[in-house]
Copies of this chain bind each other. A is one copy, B any other.
Amino acid sequence: MSRSNPRVLSTLERAGGFASAQEIYRLMQREGESIGLTTVYRALQSLVNDKIVDVLRRDDGEAIYRLCGEAHHHHLVCKGCGDTVEIEGGAIEKWAKMMAEEHGFRDVGHTAEIFGLCTKC
């Protein structure tokens, strides 16, 4: 029953614990792994069911999968050159927790991104 393909999981890990199904598929192809796109999707679904990864959505609607418990971080993205800095969000974590409690929400996650122009742009 467990379709949690270990090769998919390990690829997700190698991708920085954060990638879409298509990206994982392309990554495995490029590395010469023989796998079907269908299997990648099924493995990811299974990993989500088993609560080993969780899933969010990009702005364009594409699903991205992330290892659970992975210290998660946020991004500071340059609108000009696309350069991205990983930043810490302790303040956000607290804020999210507070807001969730205040409204009786449980099992909460969050997304937060900052975008602007970097020094070069």
Contacts and interface: CB of A to CB of B under 8 A. Distances in A.
A30 interface: no
Nearest to A77: B105
Which range contains the number of A residues in contact with the other chain? Answer: 35 or more
Copies of this polypeptide in the complex: 2
A76 interface: yes
Nearest to A119: B104
Contacts of A113: 110-112
A38 to B, nearest CB: 18
A79 to B, nearest CB: 8
B114 A110 contact: yes
Interface of A: 57, 59, 61-63, 76, 78-79, 85, 87, 89, 91-92, 94-96, 99-100, 103-119
